[in-house]
């Protein structure tokens, strides 16, 4: 994950602050996806299919770096994986070690220089870095490095880790440990040299990262669906604060952080980001989202004729709500899967109707019916209002909105693209006011306790579910301890 350093609202003091500056953001954006291969003769092809499976995590750029043991072969480009990597190009990416990346930037700027993996020359040869997440103290470290002579090639916070490693007098592994001990944030890193692969997760495990095997080869991915795509066996999740080193001698398990922190995977992975066929912390996303819908029905039942989910992320929850209530689940909305990127800028009038490019109501299903509309979250509220009005225009007599997460009140500091808190509707209005604002007949959110119970399922060991819940409610802050600093666990 990368972001542009600006002098605007992104940065306040030494740390990343709320708001990306992207206009019109009304849906939380995936954080990026990483995929790594160690010691497989077809590393590039495996990375291609792995990145394709992670495409939902970032559609702005894609990149891959492959090592044949003596040199790097790499390519990065703007656009989707299938657009960036052609058949002829793939034949040039030879080697048995690779790291790949799909990117969604958390800043307003998206350009090729920030596409990952970032590739550098340093004293011991070549170095490539790919990450999913956010280094919140990158501005401070960057200023220190620049004042001591470092020259940065990009505006990406990811480049900070490369400079810290390159400037260290220690070997790669110890230099990486020192670098990770200096940075603050939520991240999953893949770092590659000509003959080594380093894999690391932040001290709280905020960003997901899993390990698998295919024959004798090791593979690493942001989500298990990427491992499943290529037929790899899932081994385990990378633990918080863990540093894996893979070299000619095999896999070495190490740590850069030896403190005991509470695991706090981003709750939005379960609610929205991850594909429903992925597993995290041993929990299947589809099953967790069904439980969210079921719990939503228990907490906030409403009599209606049908239940429909906003595709695609809310369909599992809608099925759970329908099964719990006995109200039929119907496909009341259809998603146009070909809306991707467009080079034609619509007029303002058409832009206001833009939701219809992505979603269409099925008139014959919703006409004359009382509809329960299930969605995963509300950010600004503009999209929710358009969807409710779209269902009304298609003839729905009532539209009851049920959100399978608590109100999203606080910006994220750890790599999710969220608007300024002043633009988060739940931080400004009450539930009743939001209901009127989106033109719904009723509106209810899932409780924090309901969310935790739904995600945990049968695993009740952690009272907070091993989750970061800081974006939802100050009554459920996640106090994350970064060397005594607790200010980043919530926006207070």
Show which residues are catalytic: 32
What is the spatial distance between Cα 433 and Cα 440, in angstroms, rounded to a whole number?
10
Residue reference for tokens 């206009």: 23
46 and 219 Cβ atoms separated by less than 8 Å: yes
What is the spatial distance between Cα 373 and Cα 438, in angstroms, rounded to a whole number?
12
Three-state SS at 409: coil
What is the spatial distance between Cα 301 and Cα 142, in angstroms, rounded to a whole number?
52
What is the spatial distance between Cα 30 and Cα 14, in angstroms, rounded to a whole number?
25
**70, β-bridge pairs:** none
Closest Cα to residue 404, out of 304, 289, 327?
289
324 and 405 Cβ atoms separated by less than 8 Å: no
63 and 78 Cβ atoms separated by less than 8 Å: no
3-state SS string for 420-484: CHHHCHHHHCCHHHHHHHCCCCEEEECCHHHHHHHHHCCCCCCCCCCEECCCCCCCCCCCCCECC
């Amino acid at each position: 994950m990368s972001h542009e350093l600006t002098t605007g609202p992104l940065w306040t003091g030494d740390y990343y602050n709320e708001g990306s500056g992207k206009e019109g953001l009304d849906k939380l954006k995936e954080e990026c996806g990483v995929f790594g291969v160690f010691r497989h003769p077809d590393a590039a092809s495996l990375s291609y299919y792995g990145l394709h499976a992670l495409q939902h995590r970032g559609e702005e750029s894609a990149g891959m770096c492959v090592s044949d043991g003596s040199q790097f072969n790499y390519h990065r480009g703007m656009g989707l994986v299938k657009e960036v990597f052609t058949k002829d190009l793939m034949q040039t990416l030879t080697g048995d070690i690779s790291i790949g990346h799909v990117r969604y930037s958390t800043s307003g700027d998206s350009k090729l220089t920030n596409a990952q993996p970032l590739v550098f020359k340093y004293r011991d040869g070549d170095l490539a870095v790919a990450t999913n997440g956010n280094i919140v103290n990158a501005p401070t470290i960057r200023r220190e490095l620049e004042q001591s002579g470092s020259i940065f090639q990009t505006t990406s916070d990811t480049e900070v880790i490369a400079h810290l490693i390159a400037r260290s007098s220690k070997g790669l592994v110890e230099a990486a440990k020192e670098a990770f001990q200096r940075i603050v944030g939520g991240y999953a890193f893949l770092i590659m040299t000509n003959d080594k692969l380093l894999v690391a997760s932040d001290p709280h495990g905020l960003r997901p990262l899993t390990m698998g095997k295919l024959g004798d080869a090791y593979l690493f991915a942001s989500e298990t669906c990427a491992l499943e795509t290529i037929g790899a066996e899932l081994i385990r999740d990378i633990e918080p604060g863990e540093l894996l080193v893979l070299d000619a001698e095999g896999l070495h398990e190490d740590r850069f952080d030896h403190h005991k922190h509470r695991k706090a995977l981003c709750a939005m992975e379960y609610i929205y980001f991850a594909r429903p066929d992925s597993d995290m912390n041993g929990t299947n996303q589809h099953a967790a989202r069904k439980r969210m819908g079921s719990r939503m029905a228990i907490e906030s039942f409403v009599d209606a004729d049908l239940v429909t989910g906003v595709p695609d992320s809310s369909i599992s929850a809608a099925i759970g709500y329908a099964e719990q209530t006995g109200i039929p689940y119907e496909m009341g909305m259809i998603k146009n899967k070909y809306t991707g990127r467009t080079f034609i800028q619509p007029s303002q009038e058409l832009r206001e109707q833009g939701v219809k490019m992505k979603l269409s109501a099925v008139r014959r299903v919703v006409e004359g019916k009382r509809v329960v509309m299930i969605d995963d979250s509300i950010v600004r509220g503009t999209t929710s209002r358009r969807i409710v009005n779209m269902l009304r225009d298609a003839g729905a007599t009532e539209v009851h909105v049920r959100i399978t997460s608590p109100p999203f009140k606080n910006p994220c500091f750890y790599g999710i693209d969220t608007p300024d808190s002043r633009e988060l509707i739940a931080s400004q209005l009450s539930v009743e006011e939001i209901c009127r604002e989106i033109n719904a007949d009723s509106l209810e959110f899932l409780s924090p306790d309901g969310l935790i119970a739904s995600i945990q399922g049968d695993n009740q060991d952690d009272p907070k579910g091993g989750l970061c819940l800081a974006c939802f409610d100050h009554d459920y802050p996640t106090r994350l301890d970064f060397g005594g600093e607790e200010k980043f666990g919530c926006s207070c």
